[in-house]
Amino acid sequence: MITLYFIKFDECFEIKWLNITKKSVVYMKKTEAFTGLEAGLVLIAFVVVASVFSYVILSAGFFSIQKSQSVIYSAVEQGSSTMILGNDIIGIKNQTTGKIDLIRLSLGSPYALVSIDLSKVSIIFATSEIVKKIEKADPLYGVDDPLPGSWRIIRNDGSEGSKTTLESGDYVAIMIHIPDDIQIGPGEKFRVSILPPLGAPLSADRIAPKSIDSTVILN
């Protein structure tokens, strides 16, 4: 038996521990060490969880920033790829029917950051009675008039790149051959809509003159 004495001022306490052996002391020491190890493991677990959580938060933040940048760049690209009409829209008379069956217009993109692929452009012709998609001619670029119901690039002033692309500051001339059943008669209203792959669509509303000459300016 082991007797321990604790002295405080003038008081003396006697505490008796029974059967404390060397084995028990070793066991007590091991228990204290295991408790410290548990605390260390818990601390490491907290650090790992906090690190993973921080990584997830940072990754989400970086993804949001990249997404915002992508949206901004896309908006700038689309805004700078807008096409404009150049000069006048010309109507050419069909000598057989006396109506306009060919429309010539020019397109430009003065502030484009990227070139516009004209092979991806769609052209719609509409009157008060009908809406008709004008198909692309094959080949798309050429000096001859396209077949009825199709359109073609007949001139490209660009000094670089393909003849079917529109570079910044360049202009192209397009010939539209209206289908035979919807040729434009005197005084008729019509609309030509040009839908580019990027940027806003471009529309032109015109009225044919009451007296159609061989070549007329459509206002």
pLDDT tens-digit map of 42-61:
777 777 777 777 777 767 76
CB-count exposure of residue 81 (10 Å: 0-12, 13-18, 19+): buried
Arithmetic mean of pLDDT, 63-85? 62
The per-residue pLDDT for 179 is 94
Length of the chain, please? Answer: 219
Report helix, strand or coil for 211.
coil
| Of 200 and 156, the one with more pLDDT | 156
Q: How much of the chain exceeds pLDDT 90, in percent?
A: 42
Please give the Cα distance from 10 to 159 (Å, whole number): 110
Structure confidence at residue 130 (pLDDT): 92
Quote the CA–CA distance of 28 and 39 in Å, as a whole number.
17
177 contacts 101 by C-beta, under 8 angstroms: yes
pLDDT at 157 > cutoff 90: no
Instruction: Give the residue, 10 or 187, on which the prediction is more confident.
Output: 187
- pLDDT on residue 66: 65
Model confidence over 88-123: pLDDT tens digits?
A: 899 999 999 999 999 999 998 877 667 788 999 999
State the SS3 of 96-111. Answer: CCCCEEEEEEEEECCC
pTM of the complete model: 0.64
Looking at residue 152, what is its pLDDT?
96
Percentage, residues of the chain above pLDDT 70: 70
- Kind of pairing between the strands at 150-156 and 171-177: antiparallel
Ranking 1-5, 41-45, 107-111, 195-199 by mean pLDDT, the lowest is 1-5
Predicted local confidence at residue 111, as pLDDT: 72
- CATH architecture label of 84-218: Sandwich (2.60)
Closest CA to 195 of 102, 111, 113, 126: 126
Tell whether the torsion through CA atoms of 90, 95, 100 and 106 is positive or negative.
negative
